[in-house]
Amino acid sequence: MSGGRRVLVVGGGVAGLCTAYYLAKRGAEVTVVESNRVGSGASAGNGGWLCPAQAGPLPEPGLTLMGMRALLNRDSALYLNPSKLRNLAPWLLRFWSYCNPRAYRHGLTSMARLGGRVFELVEGMVDDGVEFDLYRQGMLIASHDPVALRAELAKLRPMEEFGYELPADLVSDEELWELEPALSDNVHAGFLINQHWHVRPESFNRGIAAAARALGVEVLEGAEVVDFQASGPRVRSIRTAAGDLEGDKVVVAAGSWTPALLAQLGVDVPVQAGKGYSFMVSPSVVPRHAVLLADVHVGCTPFGDQMRIGGTMEFSGVNLHLDRHRIDQTIAGARASFREWMRPEVESEWAGMRPIAPDGLPVLDRAAPYENLYVATGYSMQGMTLGPPAGDAIAEFITTGRRPSVLEPFTLDRFSRFPRPRRRYERDGS
Ligand SMILES: Cc1cc2nc3c(=O)[nH]c(=O)nc-3n(C[C@H](O)[C@H](O)[C@H](O)COP(=O)(O)OP(=O)(O)OC[C@H]3O[C@@H](n4cnc5c(N)ncnc54)[C@H](O)[C@@H]3O)c2cc1C
C-alpha cells in the first residue's frame, strides 16, 4: 500500500463505513471516528433503495432563476428556507449553473457508471457474510397522472445504454392495481424497474460496521473530531473528544458536516444539507415493491409488515428540526395513494440531511493541497446506492495512489472555476 497503512476515516455513515470496509479488505489499518453512533446520520432513516437507474442529478435542465423563486414556497417538495437565503445564495448560484442539458447528461452518465456496480458489490457483501436485510423486490414508479409519468419514463431511457432494463410503457388502472395491490385507485399509472432492490438502512450500517470490525477496523463512537494538525502538505493527526489520533491518511466522510470540518484546513467543499423526513406506518396491504409516488415526490419502502415513507428536499442549513407542516404534507401525499393504513397515526418521525454538492454529484477525491487527505461525500439522494461502489473506488485510490477512471467526474477541483464564496460554515443548529 502506497504511503503508509494507517487510515483514519472521519464519519460513520454509509459513506465512511463502506470506505472503511473496502480499505480493510485491501489491507489498510483503519479507524472510524464517529461523533455519535455509527449510522446515526442521514444513513439511518432513509428509504434504503439501491436504485442506480435513478441516476439523474438534482439540478435539472430548465430551472430558471425566476423558477427558483417558487422553491421559497413551504409547500414545494424542493424547498429553500427564505431565512437561510443569504447563506445559501452562493451555493444556489452554482446549483443553477448546472441546470442545463449538458451538465445533466454528464451527471447522469457519471452517476450511472459509478452506481452500476452496486448489485455486484452488495452480492459480494452477502457472500462475505455481511448481515443485513436485503429485499430483491423491484421498484415501482407510480402517479395519478399518466402523461407526466410517461415523461418520467422517457427521462430514464438513456439509462438503457448502461445496461439498465426499463419497461416499454406504463401499466394503467386494473393492470397496475393487480401488479401493486397496496395502491389506492387514486393512482392510475406506473412502471416497474425490476432490477432495483432495497435494504433496511439501519441493518445495512450495522452489518457493514460489524464486518469492518471483523476485518480489524477500530470503530470509535462518541468521538467528535474537533480539529486537525497539519504540517506542510500533510495532515499529521486529528483531535477528537476521545484524544488525538495519528494516521498516514485521513478520509473525511462526515456527510453534511464535512464542509465545516474541512474549512478548518482551508479546504472548500461546497456541500449543503438537503433535509428530508421519514416516518413508519402499518399499511393494511403491504406493498410488494418499493414505490416512488412521482407526482407527490414521496418514496415508500416495505420492511416486513411496516412501510417507511420519506420525502421532501429542504435547504435550511445544518439542522434536524422536524417541520410539522412539511411532514404532514408528506403524510397526506402518501395516504391518498395507498389503501387505508391499519392505524391512522404515523410512528418514528425522523429527519436526515443529504449532503449535496451544487452539481448533485459526489465529491470523491484527494483534498489538495494536502497529499494525504481525502474526501468522500455529496452522495445526495443516492447514498445507499453509491456507498459500496464509491467506497470501493476511493479505497482503491487511497491504497494504490492511482485514481480509478470511474472517479474522474468527482474531483474537488471541478468547483474551482467559481470564485470561492466567503461564507460562514454551520456546524449545527444555526
Ligand atoms: C428521507 C431520505 C430518504 C433517502 N432515501 C434514500 C434511498 O432510498 N436510497 C439512497 O441511496 N439514498 C437515500 N437517501 C440519501 C442517503 O440517506 C444519503 O445520501 C446518505 O445517507 C449519506 O451518507 P453519509 O455517510 O455521507 O452521511 P451521514 O449518514 O450523515 O453520515 C455522516 C456521519 O458523520 C458523523 N460526523 C459529523 N461530524 C463529525 C465529526 N466532527 N466527527 C466525527 N463524526 C462526525 C455524523 O454523526 C454522521 O454519522 C435518502 C435521504 C433522505 C434524507
pLDDT for residue 126: 98
Could you tell me the distance, in angstroms and rounded to a whole number, from the CA of residue 67 to the centre of ligand 1? Answer: 28
Residues 335 and 342: their CA atoms lie apart, in Å, by 12
In this structure, is residue 66 part of a structural domain? yes
Does residue 392 contact residue 22 with C-beta atoms inside 8 Å?
A: yes
DSSP letter at 283? B
Ligand 1 in reach of 352 Cβ (< 6 A): yes
Residues 238 and 250: their CA atoms lie apart, in Å, by 9
pLDDT for residue 430: 36
Which range marks the domain in which residue 148 is found?
62-91+136-195+272-356
Taking the CA of residue 277 as reference, the ligand 1 atom at the shortest distance is 1
Confidence of residue 417 (pLDDT cuts 50, 70, 90): low
User: For residue 65, which of 94, 86, 102 has the smallest C-alpha distance?
Assistant: 94
Residue type, 17: L
- C-alpha angle 274/332/56, rounded to 5°? 40
From atom 51 of ligand 1, which residue's Cα is the shortest distance away?
46
Ligand 1 in reach of 318 Cβ (< 6 A): no
Cα separations in angstroms, 321 against 49, 72, 317 = 24, 18, 10
Which residues make Cβ contacts (< 8 Å) with residue 361, sequence separation at least 6? 57, 107, 110, 111, 378, 380, 409, 410
Could you tell me the distance, in angstroms and rounded to a whole number, from the CA of residue 130 to the centre of ligand 1? Answer: 20
Helix (H, G, I), strand (E, B) or coil at 102: helix
pLDDT for residue 429: 43
Ligand 1 in reach of 33 Cβ (< 6 A): yes
Residue 3 has pLDDT above 90, yes or no: no
DSSP letter at 158? G
- Residue 428, all three cell numbers: 449545527
In this structure, is residue 285 part of a structural domain? yes
In this structure, is residue 326 part of a structural domain? yes
Question: Beta partners for 264?
Answer: none
Ligand 1 in reach of 36 Cβ (< 6 A): yes
From atom 25 of ligand 1, which residue's Cα is the shortest distance away?
13
User: For residue 57, which of 108, 3, 13, 4 has the smallest C-alpha distance?
Assistant: 108
Mean pLDDT over 316-341 rounds to 91
Confidence of residue 422 (pLDDT cuts 50, 70, 90): very low
User: For residue 381, which of 299, 281, 259 has the smallest C-alpha distance?
Assistant: 299
pLDDT for residue 281: 95
Which residues make Cβ contacts (< 8 Å) with residue 320, sequence separation at least 6? 275, 351, 352, 353
Residue 414 has pLDDT above 50, yes or no: yes
Number of domains into which the chain is organized: 1
Could you tell me the distance, in angstroms and rounded to a whole number, from the CA of residue 274 to the centre of ligand 1? Answer: 10
pLDDT for residue 254: 98
CATH of residue 175's domain is 3.30.9.10
Alpha helices in 324-415 (DSSP H): 324-335, 383-400
- Residue 250, all three cell numbers: 485521513
pLDDT for residue 220: 97
pLDDT for residue 63: 77
In this structure, is residue 403 part of a structural domain? no
In this structure, is residue 236 part of a structural domain? no
Does residue 205 contact residue 43 with C-beta atoms inside 8 Å?
A: yes
In this structure, is residue 328 part of a structural domain? yes
pLDDT for residue 75: 80
pLDDT for residue 71: 81
pLDDT for residue 341: 85
Ligand 1 in reach of 48 Cβ (< 6 A): yes
pTM: 0.95
CB-based burial label for 2 (10 Å; 0-12, 13-18, 19+): exposed
Which residues make Cβ contacts (< 8 Å) with residue 213, sequence separation at least 6? 219
Ligand 1 in reach of 42 Cβ (< 6 A): yes
Ligand 1 in reach of 314 Cβ (< 6 A): no
- Residue 311, all three cell numbers: 420525502
In this structure, is residue 428 part of a structural domain? no
In this structure, is residue 375 part of a structural domain? no
Residue 428 has pLDDT above 90, yes or no: no
pLDDT in tens, 27-77: 999 999 999 999 999 999 999 999 999 889 999 998 777 677 778 888 888
Q: Name the residue with higher pLDDT: 363 or 76.
A: 363
Alpha helices in 98-172 (DSSP H): 101-115, 118-127, 146-156
Percent of the chain past pLDDT 70, that is, above it, reads 96
Q: What's the chain's Rg over C-alpha atoms?
A: 21
Question: Beta partners for 341?
Answer: 283
pLDDT for residue 424: 47
Counting Cα atoms < 13 Å in the Cβ hemisphere of 363 gives 33
Mean pLDDT over 404-428 rounds to 74
pLDDT for residue 70: 73
pLDDT in tens, 147-197: 999 999 999 999 999 999 999 999 999 999 999 999 999 999 999 999 999
pLDDT for residue 420: 54
Mean pLDDT over 5-16 rounds to 97
Does residue 313 contact residue 74 with C-beta atoms inside 8 Å?
A: no
Percent of the chain past pLDDT 90, that is, above it, reads 85
pLDDT for residue 426: 52
Which residues make Cβ contacts (< 8 Å) with residue 231, sequence separation at least 6? none
Cα separations in angstroms, 281 against 76, 286, 299, 423 = 23, 10, 13, 40
CB-based burial label for 223 (10 Å; 0-12, 13-18, 19+): buried
pLDDT in tens, 111-135: 999 999 999 999 999 999 999 999 9
Residue type, 291: V
Residue 345: CB atoms within 10 A of its CB come to 9
Question: Beta partners for 377?
Answer: 363
pLDDT for residue 68: 75
